[in-house]
Structure 1
């Protein structure tokens, strides 16, 4: 990411400021404390990633303002991008992402801010944490890495490398392995229980066959009794048909009586309607006079409508002519204004261009000096290309020699510690055997408790199912109770009817029905009380079972760790048998390493290559200071190229403006002539004639409206005429209907007499045929008893069939669980191995070990430039413990100078700062490489107050020396002698209107 331009509005201490980075390679941001130097750099982090040092999002807004906005343009991988972020106080933020094309900036903004932010990071391949730990060296964080304890430095590297995700993966794998091991134990217990249940299948199958034979015999006896019952039922059905006919005739009789009663009002209504129709017919003369008056008013309204149409036509012609004329007049005036404005803008641009052309001589002279300085810089660059690889290779060789020696010493120490551990392990074998036996006993006890816990859970499920059935029965009884209460309420009313058949009740039947309903009400209420007592008892049992289940669960919490402990002890016990062989191998390897270190027979090829490189460096005779001065001269004169390009553009612009000036003057004169022609157009005379015609028209809207009111009031005679016509038509029909209803009433009286005779005949037949209900009740009781016994046996047969089906399901379940058990064991082994691989001693340790040699070489390369090769840093990842029998993982940093190796705390502030700066810059480079992008920009926001004059010069020299590796380097300081060392400066001033920026090249 190479910055090009940033614009700030109401951001932190800035109200309105713009900084153009083009032409800046190494620049110093200067200004007093609190002027806003760091705020300028914070704006870059905020606009790109939306994060800053502010506590809340609204704190980035300038005090007293409502909205903050930052516009940032930068280059990345041969593309120019633009990011615009704004924040309104108390509201949400907005984010825009654009890329530059031939036609300007094209938007890449996504639907939401989160999607747009992800797209920006995908293009940059750089997130906020990597940016602040690589490209942006924040103030006060240079010594953060060194001040940590050695045991914490590895964690800092792990956090910077984002290795925390492997901790999460290791924890997930460990949790998964624990779950799968628990699943294996449950599957093994379940398979044992299934095998025990499947042994009872043979006895259940024999009982099923015997019971089927008994049910077939009882079925034949029941069929004989059913045939006798059917004969009695046929006789009873005949009596019921006669009773139904009797009820039907009674209903017909009641219906005819009600129909006769309904005819009386209809006859009276028809007689009244006949009288009203006669009254309407008598008013025929008055209705005819009113209709004649209505026709006269309608004729007058037609004449007024004709005059209104002529008036509207004249009005439409006026609008048709007037609108185009006014539009043409307005268009001509607009064109005149636009032409005059364009001519004025052209004259102003011509004056600005002529002012720029006045500086042509000065720019040409500066351009010649720039070309001379670039030629000299090219010579230094070619020499640097030959020297830098040799220096880097020399430092790498020195680091490799020192690292090889440290690795051999660390290996020797590790071998000694391993020998002591193996000897100690041999002495602990009896204790391991006793510990394995103790853990086995604990595992057996917990497995018995797990089986008992499963029994408690099944019993709890059974009680819960029983309570659900009781609750369902309770709801059923409550519904029945509400229905009975409703029936009793209906029976308490006078003249109550039967709640079952809806028939009227005499006093005797009423008392019988009320007694039955009250008895059912008491029985239902008793059933509800019994269910409630059973629910309370079951709830207490479930509470006891829950408490017992929780107690067992607390005991089983140690089951997983005990299983892991048993596995660890078994591995330790099995590994102790190979300890003696391992001891002999380690002693032999230790003696070889001691001989190699004493005689210094290691890395001989590296020593030879190092001597050859030193000879080549002396022959080249390259000086970094002269190279830096040449580069500064080029950067100081680079503005001439930009100004020369602007000068050529100004000349082309002047010629273009002079060619456009006569054309715009001609357009102004043409527009003025067009306005004069429109004022004398014939359309204007036509408009005046039509306005005069409308004024002389004889049409009156008030008279027309009054006539319409009279016409509306006279419409009532048209309705009266319709009523008269309807009355003349309906009067004969009403008379005919009155005659028909009179005849219908006589016919229904005759039907009532015939139905009374049929009812007498049916009553005689019912008395001759006796009721077979007692015989039917006896047979039904006998069949019911037999059916109850058969139902019990069928229920038992169903249970046996269900048991056989369950045995089949258990067999399938057994096969499925056996497959699941095999698969779970395989997964448990896989997740156990993944737990170790993702742990701190696996992938994470390997990545840090691979990174440290590269970090050490990069640090020493930078530190050599800062200290004239007087300081050297070495990273150690292991050291011997207090007991000298094992190695401790750490990250010690050894610093050596001409007087030897000393602790970090004994170095002066200036020396400590150089070490911190070198390590910090080396970490920044490595993080940028790991993020997949080149580190093209470097921001150093550090305090250089600990450096003396010589230290400052070395820092300046080091920054200039690494300038070739970066496209843009920005340093922040408030020290006057430090800011004078840079040709390009960005001065930040604190003013009453906010911080201001001044660029000095």
Structure 2
């Protein structure tokens, strides 16, 4: 991982945005005073990549900033990536991951969740925070992190740094495949067991097949014999059925002839009844003719009355017109009278309400005067409110300035409290303890004065605000008065206009409408309307009297004529009877002969039907039961079919034995193949495990790491110290012949071999530095572009001048193995040892950086 660009905002001591480009140097010193923010640059890198820093909660956010944001562009294995992480106070952090396309655009690699995105970044780098810092970062307080790990953890971290986690993936894949083949083997063995169990039944299956085949042949002969007997009986049954159908037809024909005979008898009786009626009508001929002549006379008299009635109806129609005119005129006058009466009631009510309406007009006039008097105070209130707003604005502006001044004093006091070597903000000279406390006292006193002024202004602001709200309440009340005034004015105008209009309407009614009402009442009472229609009606009534029409007499003659109409029908029936009687006599004689012939034919058919039926019953009784024969046949056939199915199944069971024998050979070959695969995969699991290839690779890498570490340590200690790695040691149990896997660090100097904890701070740092630098150097060579950045954040303070020079020489020694080396120090004498410097300063607005190149 090679950093290209780092952007920081609101992170730890960096309040304002900072933009650091790494492309102008390969080795640089990050310098600055204690607390300036040097280590925060490294915290920004580890935080944006892994979410890890010296602090992990909201304390990473600058106290003046609402959020912290870090963006890192880096080159990794010939690709450029960007990671952007931000966090707002008391909220979850956000994380975005990008890769740069060939066109220079950023393509998102961000996953659905923050944790998934962090996993994606770790997979891309193939390193986690712990491994990354162990290999590339010498952070404050963590230079001995690798050396202080337990032996087992050292081996795990070294394996991760060397990229040996891939072998663990290989081991897991081999184990996964082995488990799959073991499941397959279990299935194969189960199949073989089932096949062998089935093959043990060979003799039983052959014996069962032969027995079933023999039984089937016997049953087949029996069912064939029953089939022949059944076919013969079916032929006999068909003949009997045909004879029964013929007899049934005879029965139907006899029934039809009986019905036909009954119909002829009924016709004969009906004709005889008609003959009787015709003879009676002929005997009553004289009476019928007398009644018919009387009816003709009555019919003539009715015609005369119909003529008189027609003339009467004409005059009645003429009366309708004058009567209608009289009623229309009456209805028109009555409608007008009703309307005038209703209008008179309305004006009477209106006149009674005039005093009340006049009183309302006077009340609205008085309310208008009262509201107008109150509104004269509005301009005074508005002027008072403008003055109060101006005073509030003045106090608020003054307090804002006081707040800024108090915050600056608070920050200066915090800076003086946090550091021991503070700089005077006025003369920029170092302060001793007494001067620092005196300056802090002055700043506290000034802060108290400004706080008192701020609180006094706040009281003034609150008092003005209270008065303003009171005035505002009064003004709102006047606004309601103003609205009420407008309402009262509108109501006054409406009621005044209503009063004036009512006066005019009442006067018009009294002079016109009331006079017309009295006139109509008199006309209706005296019936003095529609005089022309009344005269016309008198003339028509005189003509009606001259006709002498009597409706009751007319109706009586109509009823008599209606009753006599039956004589006309009786006369027609008489004439019909005289003409029909002779043919009817001949028809009766013909029917009597036909009935006699039908009775003789029907008797012959019934005798033949009785004879054929008796013969049929005798034949049916002598025949066997066909349904019983069919039942017995089908029962035997079911048994034969069942036996045939069992024979087929037994044959299949015998045939399948040959297939299973061949399948057993196939499964045995598959078992042998799968066993071989499982055996090979178990070998691979052991080879890919921590005691296999990874252990061999570590064994191969350790001599190179040890050689580089001793080469660097030789320079740092003037050939006085060396380091050695041991990967095995004896168990505490002396009875065991094998050795325990470990990764011990043995350190030797002029005093001999000692434990790591017994070395001084400077000596321990040189050992840690040599091991870590050697580790990074070897890894950089072995992994190509994997670990190409080295950061050193401590150690120079624990070394004397000669030790510091040797550390610088060691750094230059491995310079060609890394694309970027960053050395952090606060020692002024070390700045000139580096051609490029990143100077970090602490200002009032926060930490700032300046890149200086030689």
TM-score by length of 2: 0.47
Structure scoring higher RCO (CA < 8 A, sep ≥ 6) equals 1
* Rg larger in structure: 2
TM-score by length of 1: 0.41
